[in-house]
Structure 1
Amino acid sequence: MIYYISAGILWAGFAAQVPGLWHDWRDPLKRALCAVIFLAGFCFALGAPPTVGFLNGAIGVPNAAACVTYAALNAFSAASLVLIVHWRGADSPDHVRRISHGWLITYAVVIAGQVALFAAGDAPVERRTDFDTYYADTPFVREMIVLYLLAHLAAASTTTILCWRWTLQISGWTRRALAVLALGWLCTSAYGVVKLIAVAGRWGGQQWDPLSTRLAPMLVTVGAALTSAGYILPLLGPRIDSLVAFLRLGPLFRLVGSRSGKRHTVLSWRSLGNVELRLTHRTTAIRDGLRDVSVHFDEGVRERAYRQALSVGSSTAEAQAIGDAAMVAVAALSDPRRRAPRLDPAVLDSVALDAIAGFTGPVVGAQTLDTGQPSLIRMSRAVRAAIVEGAVRAERAHSRQA
């Protein structure tokens, strides 16, 4: 069952890539990515014992499924190497194309050799789980098994080394993805090594079949899951960052952003999955909300909250965010008629335009409220700080007394 579950997960990832493949069919990177994910699921489906029995019966040749599975595994290896070559893309397109074609031709020859060796050998007894070790001493079939394992191990080890070297040159989500890929291909390399050890054990008269029938499938399952995740991470990473930023801006949006929501176009249900668009919409609403309440900003509130935060051990950046959040919260929740210090409306209008164009905020005293997204996120996190809540309670108490 684990084979089919793994195949289903991988094919679900493939299905998610189909729309992009349909629109960017000419993109070799997209084609290679889809081929890798599809072939990984295909290999799992082929390796399941029920599928092995079905293929053997359908083809009418005992153990023909082993030949088909080996061919699929080496096709997966070739696709993975091609994907890495296109993904890195450091060389000229012609050079990348030549390397890719070289890998494809090499593994096509390997697959053809496997088929020829299987046809020349004799494997009359069907073996659904231990074909490698059972026929480890059979002429021609033995060579087919070794050829498949060496070709697969060469691709896995090469990809592991390339991914690991590449992680030292880049950063961000691509580096995380390559680290996951390197670990996944390391597990896949271990699969080939364990299989070879089990086969070599048969040559020496040892019975190490559990290495091939139990440990190796576990290693390749983990390896396939990690490699598939590694290939998908660069696509999902920016969306994850946008989603995290969207959620972190929630407190500040509820405080000031919802006030200006009426001036923004309401997002349709089709845009619910577009995290980047929703993040832009929320960020814009917050900036407009800050512009609206900026006329009620009180520098004294910010200064008091800032110094109080420093006194309890907050860093300078944290204290600045707490001070800004306290000033914004008091301005948003206070009675506009009771606020004395106000800025000139003409100045506010010009500052609001600057805030939209240059990510700077309304002027307060001699300082500027930074409305860049990182600053907004820090301010949003600080909205729930005890110092900010204390500033709001003090403002409310002052309003009731007045």
Structure 2
Amino acid sequence: MEGLSFYIPGAVMLTAFLLKLPALRRNPDDTLLRSVSGLLLVASFVFLFAAPSTIAAVNRITGIPNFSAPLVYCILTAFSGACLVLVINWRGGPPEQTRRTSRLSIAAYSLVVVALIVLFALGDAPVERLRDLDTYYANTPFIREMIVLYLLAHTVAAVVMTVLCWRWSRRVGRMLRYGLRLIVFGYLLNLGFDGVKFAAMGARWAGRDWDGLSTYVAPPLAQVSALLIGTGFVFPLIGHRIGVGWSTAVRYRRLGYLARALNSAASSMSASVTIGRWASLDLRLMKREAAIHDRILALTPYFDHSIHTDTYAAALAQGQTDDHAQSLADAAMIAAASTAQAANPGRNSLAAPERARQPSRTADDLVQMSHAVRRSPLVHEACRRAALTESSTP
């Protein structure tokens, strides 16, 4: 059960990393994407190698008692460095300055990793300790310095990240602000982890026994902290993707009314374009917008400018704004043209040059026209008028 509390969050982080791999392969030069992916991978390693069962397995495989200690400390140090690098790239700024700051952070934490390995090699830790190595060897030369060094590096990163993310969170939009606040909360827990570790070691130096703080209080703080920090980094990216996806879905659905109203006017060009049943929503939206443009173009011979003029005037008389009145008038002329085309499909495209006015068709215009086609009585009246006109035409 204790192992699951490490392995489950580790699996979540590793899954998030694997989901990022396709994008990383497509954009290998994307610094921010590389930073996020690296953070997720290192975070998954933190959980994997910090689990007591993994610690025992690594010690057994290497044949070196407590070999897992510097390994876990090095991974935690790398995680701290990865967080700093990600925030540096996330905030942006002059590219050269961003690269220089990132390289300095990587170099500094790489030196800490090397120092941890050297100190472990110089020290003597013959008794395997799976859960209380920090306090058990708190007075052992070199091992003591190794523990203090990794805690100091961890604390420095936590303080810097807390300050940077909190200041930044006060100047950004909602989605990013939520992510940054999660990171801040995670690093506050990190500082709690460092605090109880230092307290337990300080008690050992003073001849007292506060080992329970290090053994039982610190690990849950570290687990929750890593999850919050990882989630805080990923949340704005996922939230943005969900927001964009939701916006696309809403636009696709709203354009459906206009697309169905124009279905009978489908051009040969739009009919020849097919997409797979598993095509992305972005591609489906693109196809729907293109089909609507094609169908409006096919209706050009049926456009009746008098319908546009009358509907525009009626909309203004109802108190509509000029832009809204224009959209209603365009929708009425297009819907009426579709009705006329259905009643008289053989009209010559050159028969009525005065009717050839093309309505504006930006993406937002299409959505407004689709809404009008669905709900506006003015549009419904224009369709009725077009049907009567076509039925009386010999």
Q: Does 1:9 align with 2:16?
A: no
Contact in 1 for aligned 2:327/2:365 (Cα 8 Å): yes
In structure 2, the residue matched to 1:375 is: 365
CA-CA distance at 1:393 after TM superposition: 9.5
Cα distance in 1, alignment partners of residues 94 and 294 from structure 2 = 46
RMSD: 4.3
The counterpart of 2:109, out of the listed 107, 110, 122, is 107
Contact in 2 for aligned 1:160/1:182 (Cα 8 Å): no
Percent identity of equivalent pairs? 28
Matches within 5 A, 1:349-364: 351=357, 362=358
Tell me, what secondary structure is at the counterpart of 2:266? helix
Q: Does 1:266 align with 2:269?
A: no
Q: What is the CA deviation profile of residues 290-342 of structure 1, one whole-angstrom value per residue up to 9, with x for unaligned ones?
A: 3444635523456556766x5xxx9887777566556644554467559xxx9
The counterpart of 1:250, out of the listed 238, 256, 270, is 256
In structure 1, the residue matched to 2:152 is: 150
Cα distance in 2, alignment partners of residues 348 and 67 from structure 1 = 80
Bigger shift: residues 290-299 or 388-397: 388-397
Cα distance in 1, alignment partners of residues 334 and 27 from structure 2 = 46
In structure 2, the residue matched to 1:283 is: 289
CA-CA distance at 1:124 after TM superposition: 2.4
Which amino acid letter does the alignment assign opposite residue 103 of structure 1?
A: S
Q: What is the CA deviation profile of residues 25-75 of structure 1, one whole-angstrom value per residue up to 9, with x for unaligned ones?
A: 455444333322222222232233433332232223344334322212221
Gaps of 5+ in 2: 204-208
Q: 1:200 to 1:80 in 2, by over 3 A?
A: closer
In structure 1, the residue matched to 2:235 is: 229
Cα distance in 1, alignment partners of residues 148 and 335 from structure 2 = 70
Tell me, what secondary structure is at the counterpart of 1:230? helix
CA-CA distance at 1:186 after TM superposition: 0.9
Matches within 5 A, 1:50-65: 50-65=53-68
Bigger shift: residues 101-110 or 11-20: 11-20
Q: Does 1:211 align with 2:226?
A: no
Q: Provide TM-score, normalisation by structure 1.
A: 0.72
Contact in 2 for aligned 1:195/1:216 (Cα 8 Å): yes
Contact in 1 for aligned 2:154/2:194 (Cα 8 Å): no
Cα distance in 1, alignment partners of residues 264 and 19 from structure 2 = 33
CA-CA distance at 1:189 after TM superposition: 0.9
Q: 1:322 to 1:345 in 2, by over 3 A?
A: closer
Contact in 1 for aligned 2:311/2:332 (Cα 8 Å): yes
Cα distance in 1, alignment partners of residues 5 and 378 from structure 2 = 52
Cα distance in 1, alignment partners of residues 378 and 147 from structure 2 = 69
Matches within 5 A, 1:312-331: 325=331, 328-329=334-335, 331=337
Q: Provide TM-score, normalisation by structure 2.
A: 0.73
Which amino acid letter does the alignment assign opposite residue 190 of structure 1?
A: L
Tell me, what secondary structure is at the counterpart of 1:284? helix
Q: 1:126 to 1:250 in 2, by over 3 A?
A: farther
Contact in 2 for aligned 1:56/1:62 (Cα 8 Å): yes
Which amino acid letter does the alignment assign opposite residue 78 of structure 2?
A: A
CA-CA distance at 1:102 after TM superposition: 1.2
Contact in 2 for aligned 1:52/1:65 (Cα 8 Å): yes
Contact in 1 for aligned 2:193/2:221 (Cα 8 Å): no
Contact in 1 for aligned 2:337/2:386 (Cα 8 Å): no
In structure 2, the residue matched to 1:358 is: none
Tell me, what secondary structure is at the counterpart of 1:370? coil
Tell me, what secondary structure is at the counterpart of 2:127? coil
Q: 1:22 to 1:250 in 2, by over 3 A?
A: same
Contact in 2 for aligned 1:177/1:230 (Cα 8 Å): yes
The counterpart of 1:385, out of the listed 363, 375, 380, is 375
Q: 1:395 to 1:278 in 2, by over 3 A?
A: same
Cα distance in 2, alignment partners of residues 44 and 57 from structure 1 = 19
Instruction: Answer with 1 or 2: which has the greater Rg.
Output: 2
Matches within 5 A, 1:332-347: 332-333=338-339, 337=343, 345-346=352-353
